[in-house]
C-alpha cells in the first residue's frame, strides 16, 4: 500500500501520505486498516497528496463508494475534521468531489476541507491556542 501514515496521539491526528500512483483499492485498504480501530474514531485526519504522481480511480462511483465507506466509520458522538492537501488541480478537484459525496452520505460526522498547502490544513485542524480558548468563553 503506497500510503504511509502516522498517529499523533498527543494531538489526536492521523496524518496520511500517499505516494506514487494512488488507486481506489489503496484508499479502501487504508480506510479499513486505520479507521476500523476504535481508539482512533474520534481523531482528526490529514491526507497530504503532495507525493501523489497520479490517481487511478475508474469512475466517480469509486469516489462515492469511498466517501460512503468513510462516512460509515465516523464517530457519531463527536464531529471530527479531515483536511486534504492537494496542490495539483486534478487532485484538488477530486478532493472536492469526495467532500461533496461524503457530506451527502448517511452517518457522515466529519467536516472535510481541501487545501493547497499542509500549513493551511494544519492551521485549520488545530487553530492557534488563543482562538481555541476564546471560543470556549
Q: What is the pLDDT, as a whole number, of residue 58? A: 77
Q: What is the pLDDT, as a whole number, of residue 71? A: 96
Handedness of CA 42, 46, 105, 69 (dihedral sign): negative
Q: What is the pLDDT, as a whole number, of residue 2? A: 78
Burial class (CB in 10 A: 0-12, 13-18, 19+), 43: buried
> Residue 50 is placed in which grid cell?
503532495
Q: What is the pLDDT, as a whole number, of residue 116? A: 97
Q: What is the pLDDT, as a whole number, of residue 22? A: 94
Could you read off the pLDDT tens digit of each residue along the chain, which spans 137 residues? 579 999 999 999 999 999 999 999 999 999 999 999 999 989 999 999 999 999 998 788 999 999 999 999 999 999 999 999 999 999 999 999 999 999 999 999 999 999 999 999 999 998 666 444 445 54
Stated pTM of the model: 0.89
To the question of domain 3-136 being in CATH 3.40.1280.10, the answer is no
Could you state, in order of their start, the residue ranges of all structural domains in the chain?
Answer: 3-136
Amino acid at each position: 500500500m503506497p500510503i504511509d501514515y502516522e498517529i499523533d496521539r498527543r494531538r489526536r491526528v492521523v496524518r496520511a501520505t500517499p505516494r506514487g500512483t494512488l488507486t481506489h483499492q489503496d484508499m479502501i485498504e487504508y480506510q479499513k486498516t486505520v479507521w476500523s480501530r476504535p481508539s482512533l474514531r474520534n481523531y482528526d485526519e490529514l491526507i497530504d497528496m503532495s507525493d501523489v504522481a497520479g490517481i487511478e480511480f475508474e469512475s466517480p462511483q469509486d469516489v462515492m463508494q469511498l466517501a460512503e465507506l468513510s462516512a460509515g466509520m465516523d464517530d457519531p458522538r463527536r464531529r471530527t475534521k479531515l483536511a486534504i492537501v492537494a496542490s495539483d488541480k486534478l487532485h484538488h478537484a477530486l478532493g472536492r468531489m469526495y467532500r461533496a459525496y461524503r457530506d451527502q452520505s448517511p452517518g457522515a460526522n466529519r467536516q472535510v476541507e481541501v487545501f493547497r498547502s499542509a500549513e493551511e490544513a494544519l492551521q485549520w485542524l488545530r487553530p492557534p491556542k488563543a482562538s481555541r480558548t476564546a471560543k470556549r468563553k
